[in-house]
Amino acid sequence: MQSLVASKLDPAEAAVDEVCAAGEPWSRRIAKGQVFRILDLEGNQAVDTLFYNAHDPQERYSAVDTIRRQCNLYLTTGTQLISNDGNPMLTIVADTCGRHDTLGGACATESNTVRYALDKRFMHACRDNFCSELAHHPEYGMSKRDVAPNINFFMNVPVTPQGKLTFEDGISAPGKYVELRAEMDVICLISNCPQLNNPCNAFNPTPIRLLIWDEQPRG
């Protein structure tokens, strides 16, 4: 499934325009109706992302409900991200990459150890990023217990005929982006993946650009 749709929004008119450095976390409250763009600046960068209801963080993005609602493992233009309460949280309204992963999850020190080597345990990992960002924002009312299965924007995780997952070179490129419209007030939590042990970042983590526009007319 690939549905390539370019955005008509002008970055010069964005209310928020920030760069998240390679391997670092980022978070922001996004209001209902606002449009949020994640832009892959240098190409082949995995962006681990979680969304929560800003008023009740116990309601959060659900990979299971999103996959079941759309009957597809991958995300692209037109996909609605569904919460664990069955509500639409965001809709992908533009996508120049074409496919995003729902299954690969976030790297962790433990998984780095199991998959790669004992000496990889102390490498930076996405789960650490998530936990650190939540710890620095007590106003969110969340902790490491709230880190759930995430989306991996731009990440290429094919499913083999035997039902196994493989981590392959990305299908993104410099300047590719995905854009989402918030269907409720949400908190967005990102780990700009620091993984160096598989090709999800082309073995070279790079920065991303994050933009938010105020509510746009639907059409």
> What would the pLDDT profile of 55-65 be if each residue is shown by its tens digit?
999 999 999 99
- The C-alpha atoms of residue 151 and residue 50 are separated, in whole angstroms, by 7
Burial readout 151-174 (b: 16 or more C-beta within 10 A, e: otherwise):
bbbbbbbeeeeeeeeebeebbbee
By three-state DSSP, how is residue 130 classified? helix
Q: In what order do the strands lie in the sheet with 151-153?
A: 25-30, 186-192, 47-53, 151-153
DSSP assignment string, 44-66:
S--EEEEEEETT-TTSBB-HHHH
**Residues sharing a CB contact under 8 Å with residue 56, sequence separation 6 or more, in sequence order:** none
C-alpha closest to that of 42 among 57, 65, 22: 22
Backbone angles phi, psi at 154, to 5 degrees: 75, -5
Give the largest CA-CA distance in the chain.
Answer: 52
User: In 10 A of CB 114, how many CB atoms?
Assistant: 12
**In the predicted model, what is the mean pLDDT of residues 17-37?**
97
Backbone angles phi, psi at 30, to 5 degrees: -120, 125
Q: Are 169 and 156 in contact (CB under 8 A)?
A: yes
User: Any bridge partners for residue 17, and if so which?
Assistant: 211
Per-domain residue ranges of the chain? 16-213
Q: Count Cα neighbours of 9 within 13 Å in the Cβ-side half-sphere.
A: 29
Tell me the percentage of the chain whose pLDDT exceeds 70.
Answer: 89
Query: What confidence tens digit (pLDDT) does each residue in 182-217 have?
Result: 999 999 999 999 876 666 677 889 999 999 999 877
Query: What confidence tens digit (pLDDT) does each residue in 87-143 have?
Result: 999 999 999 999 999 988 888 666 556 565 556 556 678 999 999 999 999 999 999
Rg, Å, the chain Cα set:
16
Which pLDDT value is given to residue 215? 83
Which pLDDT value is given to residue 157? 81
